[in-house]
Amino acid sequence: MPHTATRPPTRMTVTGATLVIAPPPAASTPAASNPHRKPAPPRRAPGPYRRLFALPGTRAFTAGNLLARLPMGMFGISAVMMIAGQRGSYALAGAVTATGLAATAVVAPWTARLVDRYGQARIAVPATLIAVLGSLSLILCIRSGAPAWTLFASYAATATTPNIGGMSRARWTHLLRDSRSAHHTAMAFEQAADELCFMLGPVVAAALCSAVFPEAGTLTGAVLLLTGMLIFTSQRSTEPPPSRAARGGAPLRSLRPLLALFLPLGVMFGAMEVTSIAYLDAHGLGAASGPVLALQAAGSCAAGLLYGTLRPRTLPACLAALTAAMALPWAAAATGSLLLLGGALLLAGMATAPTMVTAMSRVHAATPPARLNEGMTLAVTAILAGIAAGSATAGWLVDHWGTTAPYALPTAAALLALTLGATAIRRHPVP
């Protein structure tokens, strides 16, 4: 005979002509039977990043995003090492990569406009395939001893690579359009991801090209780019819808003051890298240039993640802190201490991420939602143009003024960015 649980008896009383049925008394709990027992501590609320990646689909598209973004820090150094190693000319290698950068400045905004107009998956996948074929063509032309012009043509084809960082930011903006604080956290994460990939990319590329074979860096980067882009674009539930509003002219008019701000920021990045490499090489520490420069990227990555948990600061405040931080490597270089220089670069990097996150937020606010990816790509293009100018200027200064004085260039560029940032705030106030 099956066991049947018996219910406690129900108490019934009669009041006047009304029958009242009272429920049985509640069973005593351990806390009630033991008044000296401490109550269980309240559950800790999940952190901002945990809440961010609790949204459906965000982990998957972020995984693809990181895979596709890592090659952005690999292709340049891989091409230089591959071409210089096989053709014996750093001048040719530099000219080929400079041509690719110039082609990217022209092609990238058009690719971004097509992405906004027709959708990420529809445009990004074929554009990535063209870029991957360009990388494979570069490898074949180098291995077969093809004429030099084929190297320029092949590397220029990689300019169709979509701005994966801009597309990822566009997805976060679409998903978090009703939460400003969560959007700030997402933008901080994206900036930290940028720094992480540009910190790890050159290290991975250099290791592959030197330890495996010269073409290994470019080949691995192409595979990672295509794999990551396929994973990213397969997450259709988080993709922003295409918009016919993207058919108009480019949003240059509204973004011009902000793009002028990104140019000196790019100069600052390019000048700092070239000057630091030259300084370390002049002091017999060329082998330490990678780890020392990685300190700056590591500081920016850590500061970006921390900034995502804090209240956003104003753009002038971030630029003022950046200007002060950029003066530290200049002062440290004057002492000749590698330890002080590494610490100064770490602090300079920590001031970079909050500035970039805040500046990119301004781009979001000034760009029509239907043109967001294009606006982000224009900002990145301005940074790349500034990096090229900063690298060339710093190289000239190193040749004519030594390796310490050029550290003044990043400080001057940050000061110019502070001035332009204040102007952009007055012209484009953001509520």
Residue 270's CATH number: 1.20.1250.20
- In this structure, the answer to whether residues 353 and 214 fall within a common structural domain is no
Domain that holds residue 380: 254-431
Segment holding 348, helix H or strand E? helix 338-366
| Residue among 159, 148, 165, 131 nearest 61 (CA) | 165
pLDDT at 18: 42
pLDDT at 23: 52
One-character DSSP codes across 46-97: PPHHHHHTTSTTHHHHHHHHHHHHGGGGTHHHHHHHHHHHHH--HHHHHHHH
For residues 387 and 265, what is the distance between their CA atoms, to the nearest angstrom?
8
Spans of the chain, pLDDT less than 70: 1-46, 244-254, 286-290, 424-431
- In this structure, the answer to whether residues 73 and 160 fall within a common structural domain is yes
Q: Provide the residue type at 181 as one letter.
A: S
pLDDT at 9: 47
pLDDT at 92: 82
Q: Provide the residue type at 42 as one letter.
A: P
CB 269 within 8 A of CB 300: no
pLDDT at 2: 46
pLDDT at 66: 92
Is residue 23 in some structural domain? no
One-character DSSP codes across 377-408: HHHHHHHHHHHHHHHHHHHHHHHHHTTTGGGH
Is residue 46 in some structural domain? no
- Two structure tokens written together for 116: 């906004």
- In this structure, the answer to whether residues 206 and 307 fall within a common structural domain is no
What global pTM score does this model have? 0.73
Number of domains observed in the structure of the chain: 2
Is residue 32 in some structural domain? no
pLDDT at 254: 66
